[in-house]
Structure 1
Amino acid sequence: MAENTAPKGKKLGLTSILLLGINGIIGSGIFLLPNKAYAEVGVSSVLVILVGAILVISLALCYAEASSKFNQNGASYVYAKAAFGDLVGFEVGFYTWVVGVLGWAGEIAALLLAIQSVYPPLQDKVTYNITAIAICFFLAIINYFGLNFSKIFNTLSSLGKLIPLVLFVIIGVFFMHYNNFTPFIPPLDNTADIYGTDFGAAFAVIFYAYLGFEFLPIAAGNMENPQKNLPKAIITVVLFCAAFYTLITLVCIGILGPDLAKTSVPVASATGLILGKAGYDFITLGTIISIAGICWSYSFNTPIVAAALADNGFLPKIVSKKSKHNTPGYAILMTALVVAFLVTTGGFLFLAAVNVVAAFVEYIPTALSIPFLRKKKDLPNNYKIPFGPVIPIFAVIVSVVMLSQAGAKTIIYGLSGLIVGAIIYYAYGKKNIELKDKEDNTPNNDEKKVQ
């Protein structure tokens, strides 16, 4: 696995890491999904946001502890490989790339859906596909030219999404109708459904809004002091997003009430109700900027995963070859080509649903790795989750329950990559890893002479 290779002056500091994390999480989900949760469980959708936050925080704590032990690119792949060996490590690493590809493609699809509301010609399939491919490769080019350009783009897109949402919360709180929150607890005869299957369905939908935090440690090698900064950044970003999502959901319910279930763009609709068309257009612009930001985040992180796998012999070495800008050019190109294919063949809802299922292939092994990594004496203990194994076990149990809420078809699509990963591992990666390990254990020429 490649270690810190970026020149010191070009590495991401804590502020840039925080913005990268916010960019990686806040995207189409919070702009487009509060209505879906409200349609399932009504006012109790606020609880869905909070329960989702509890799960994400528990997973984020696992990532924070694991990331504090390594300064390498790769995130979940690095942790799973160290804890469970090459096969599990490769499957998790391969799925980190799969999740990134699905996320990048899904967010481009969401971006085009948002743009369609102000530019109807995008509804034409040919125009849609050409634009999707152009956006994909534009982002790939940005990342090819390195961190300096990426830092500027990251900062601008983060601020561009936060300003409209912050203004929405600050202004919207004065237009809330508090009777829209009653009854908070539904009548007794409906409680079983609402806090059973309906709650699970809402949970599965809204959890998509939290995806992305796991990508922060992937670029650890491009960060200043990652073993210290990453745990702080992961926890801070997740807590911020959880609080922010709760406020946005409360304001949407307070302004729209039951009408929240009837709109496909809840934040824009709520703003339009109180500020008219100008407000609606302003939030629509913020939606577009927000989704563009998370597209960029996926485009930045996902090729790094492919390069990390190649560094360890699981993929051809050329995939990890650096360009003159110190970026993995071939990995960027390979990833962009797959994303372009997916975004022109699959819609947003399909890609989002499969993405949620695939994400748990990363989450569960990472949480399970914590007890095993703690036993390795050669790894530092820069950060340790409190309460022993309680939080990792909780994260695993809730993740399994969460995964079970997806439909059978979605689960099959989401987990089918495990078979593809196993084929790649046994056909190519296993042999290369054994050869690499053999070379690493072979005495060099100087040692042979001494012998």
Structure 2
Amino acid sequence: MAEEKKKIGFWSIVLLTINAIIGTGIFLSPGGVAKLSGSLAPFIYICAAVFAAVLALSFASASRYVVKNGAAYAYCEAAFGENAGLYVGITRFVAASIAWGVMATGVVKTALQILGQDSSDKGKITLGFLLLMTILLVINLVGTRVLTFVSNLSTIGKLSALAITILAGFYILFTTHVNRILEVDQLLNDAGEKLVPPLTSGGFVTAVIAAFYAFTGFESVASGASDMEEPEKNLPKALPLAISIIALIYFGIVFVSMMIDPVAMVSSKDVVVLAAVFQNPLIKNIIILGALVSMFGINVAASFLTPRVIEAMANDGQVPKLFAKRTGRDLPLPAFLLTVLLAIVIPMAFNYDMRGIMIISSISRFVQFVLVPLAVITFYYGKNRKPIIDNPKKNFILDVPVSLLSLVLTLLLLAKFKWAAQFSVTVDGVTKPNLYAIFAMILGYIVLPILVYLYRSSKKKAS
């Protein structure tokens, strides 16, 4: 039994972080950034990595002060009190559960498309969804040791697929001396205008922000801090290292793809767009397999991290203590089942309309990216509302200037975020309010926090 409860070590934390970040985007839609930035797309990913690394450093700094499950919830609860923690925790949990449901739907739909099945068949999607969730439940029930093994294996699988693709790409470049990267700048749209507009300062910022979303996921890794070895030491080192590795991989894959066939990357209708760049069947199959492994891997990471947010809230009395109960092999089973319920039911209720429900996930990230840097500054100056670890290793540069820079970058994200597009939808040329998004926003950011607050208040009165 002791072996089953072995905690996650440093390199497994690095791999878990990579697993939580690399999802479907780099396989399915790398052309989106290229449409915004043209031949400069590979370098846009480097800029986005710097952007993400600065934000990740704030979360890494916070993990030196607070060592408990919950990540942003735990940091905000310690810095600003239980009400701020409640709001961040419940919105983050709901958003992460929905995001997991979206990712699971993506796995099922992509698998159906690759297998030549109808990916719009609601019955097949639902069956695939339930099968995937059952597999993830079994992996988590077996114990942290096996889950870590599966997570590491899936991470290595997706990294291997990307690495093989990069090496194959460079081999093609060196043997054929092909260089088509500038072709993307000359592409025309249906109106005869350049598909990629000249890159202005505003366009550069927009492209970097678009690429930045390929690096999100790091903010959830500390949710399982209590299941990790020395998280106060390992997390601050693991997060930046993982982002650096991902940055090199993203740069390499986008660079070789654009050198070989940028037109295919921005215009292909294939399910796995990256595969359209390569003519070799073996490379195509490796990329497609890598995409499926990547999607499965990010679901494994979500199945481990997301339930631990509501578990952390239960341990603090914010929600019923039931959700803090663990099995003999350290799975918070009630929290897991609640997370699965939200991940399944909400996408089904929204008729698998991903545009309608991702607004919750996006805004939840903004809440965290604003409050966590402020929490770190609060910890540094000893103004926190609740106790933190004894004698934390303070670092003025990381805790204050870097956190302030993180806050500035987040405000830039907020300013450039396409709010109107999130709350509207165009059908047959007519723009209408996106009722799904509006309902999701009201439910996730107003109704549920109020209900949880009332529950906690009633429990306090009763005691």
Moved more, 144-153 or 370-379: 370-379
The CA deviation string for residues 111-170 of structure 1, in whole angstroms up to 9 with x for no partner, is 123213321224222111111122123212321332122022112211111111001111
Cα drift, residue 302 of structure 1: 0.4
Letter in 1 for 2:284: Y
- Note closer, same or farther for the CA distance 1:183–1:267 as it changes in structure 2 (3 Å cut): closer
Provide the residue aligned with 1:389 in structure 2.
Answer: 400
Cα drift, residue 45 of structure 1: 2.4
CA distance in 1: counterparts of 2:356 and 2:275, whole angstroms: 23
Secondary structure of the 2:274 match is helix
Provide the residue aligned with 2:168 in structure 1.
Answer: 171
Q: 2:455 aligned with 1:428, yes or no?
A: yes
CA distance in 2: counterparts of 1:339 and 1:167, whole angstroms: 33
Q: 2:374 aligned with 1:368, yes or no?
A: yes
Provide the residue aligned with 1:326 in structure 2.
Answer: 330
CA distance in 1: counterparts of 2:165 and 2:16, whole angstroms: 22
| Structural RMSD (CA) | 2.9
CA distance in 1: counterparts of 2:328 and 2:214, whole angstroms: 36
- Note closer, same or farther for the CA distance 1:98–1:149 as it changes in structure 2 (3 Å cut): same
Provide the residue aligned with 2:49 in structure 1.
Answer: 53
CA distance in 1: counterparts of 2:394 and 2:238, whole angstroms: 13
- Note closer, same or farther for the CA distance 1:270–1:192 as it changes in structure 2 (3 Å cut): closer
CA distance in 1: counterparts of 2:210 and 2:132, whole angstroms: 26
- Please say if residues 55 and 399 of structure 1, whose CA atoms lie closer than 8 Å, have aligned partners that are also in contact: no
Q: 2:410 aligned with 1:399, yes or no?
A: yes
Cα drift, residue 363 of structure 1: 1.7
Identify the match of residue 342 of structure 2 among 327, 338, 345: 338
Aligned pair count reads: 426
- Note closer, same or farther for the CA distance 1:431–1:203 as it changes in structure 2 (3 Å cut): farther
Provide the residue aligned with 1:269 in structure 2.
Answer: 276
CA distance in 1: counterparts of 2:418 and 2:26, whole angstroms: 20
Provide the residue aligned with 1:238 in structure 2.
Answer: 243
* Runs (4+) off by over 6 Å: 182-186, 189-193
- Note closer, same or farther for the CA distance 1:387–1:21 as it changes in structure 2 (3 Å cut): closer
Letter in 1 for 2:378: F
- Please say if residues 25 and 294 of structure 1, whose CA atoms lie closer than 8 Å, have aligned partners that are also in contact: yes
- Please say if residues 102 and 351 of structure 1, whose CA atoms lie closer than 8 Å, have aligned partners that are also in contact: yes
Where does the alignment leave 5 or more consecutive residues of structure 1 unmatched?
A: 1-5, 440-451
Cα drift, residue 287 of structure 1: 0.4
Letter in 1 for 2:25: G
Provide the residue aligned with 1:297 in structure 2.
Answer: 301
TM-score scaled by structure 1? Answer: 0.86
Letter in 2 for 1:148: R
Q: 2:143 aligned with 1:132, yes or no?
A: no
Letter in 1 for 2:341: L
- Please say if residues 264 and 277 of structure 2, whose CA atoms lie closer than 8 Å, have aligned partners that are also in contact: no
Provide the residue aligned with 1:444 in structure 2.
Answer: none
The CA deviation string for residues 165-211 of structure 1, in whole angstroms up to 9 with x for no partner, is 0011111023344351479899xx99996335544544444333112
- Note closer, same or farther for the CA distance 1:7–1:98 as it changes in structure 2 (3 Å cut): farther
Provide the residue aligned with 1:447 in structure 2.
Answer: none
Letter in 2 for 1:371: I
- Please say if residues 37 and 206 of structure 1, whose CA atoms lie closer than 8 Å, have aligned partners that are also in contact: yes
Secondary structure of the 1:117 match is helix
Q: 2:155 aligned with 1:158, yes or no?
A: yes
- Note closer, same or farther for the CA distance 1:110–1:207 as it changes in structure 2 (3 Å cut): farther
